[in-house]
Amino acid sequence: MALLPILHYPDERLHTVATPIAEVDDGVRQLAADMAETMYEAPGIGLAATQVNAHRQLIVIDISEAHDQLITLINPRIVVASEERAVYEEGCLSVPGIFDEVERAARVTVEALDLQGRIQRIEAEGLLSVCIQHEMDHLKGIVFVEYLSRLKRSRIAAKLRKQQQQKVL
């Protein structure tokens, strides 16, 4: 197991579109294990492979307090999204210290492969629904701040660039 470095907005690599995983092999399982360790350590409730500069369709999520309900989604696709929308104040490990409201489908049903390459189907609402949609956006190269106004986005980018420069000192 290893901790992986997380890319921070406005890093251009966060806008890479992830490719589907053709075979769920030991390499994929190792990446998923490293991503889970990285997510728990951060700490966060979700991490997409894009955020650790691995541009494959792989997501780990655990919204439980006890960190004992890990979900791994490989090649996820949303098969049902509710008409009803919900607003949630989101944050992101790639946008540290920034939280803002994003509107998404209130409920989604997602199909994905698990770590054994079997199809799993998850019906999600509330925080899990938000998290799945947020992480799936990462695989498309979308960071949640892109739903905010241009002004907010440029302020966030400036703030994060400054934070990143300060870390170097």
Residues in contact with Ni ion by the rule CB under 5 A: 92
Nearer to Ni ion (CB atom), residue 92 or residue 102: 92
**Residue 92 CB, nearest distance to Ni ion (Å)?**
3
Instruction: Report helix, strand or coil for 104.
Output: strand
Instruction: Report helix, strand or coil for 138.
Output: helix
Nearer to Ni ion (CB atom), residue 24 or residue 92: 92
**Residue 93 CB, nearest distance to Ni ion (Å)?**
6
Instruction: Report helix, strand or coil for 71.
Output: strand
H helices of 63-149, where? Answer: 126-139
Nearer to Ni ion (CB atom), residue 92 or residue 124: 92
Is 135 assigned a catalytic role?
yes
Are the beta carbons of 130 and 86 closer than 8 angstroms? yes
**Residue 94 CB, nearest distance to Ni ion (Å)?**
5
Q: Which of 65, 84, 125, 135 is catalytic?
A: 135
Residue with the CB atom nearest Ni ion in the bound state? 92
**Burial of 97 by CB count in 10 Å (0-12 exposed, 13-18 middle, 19+ buried)?**
exposed
Active-site residue numbers? 135
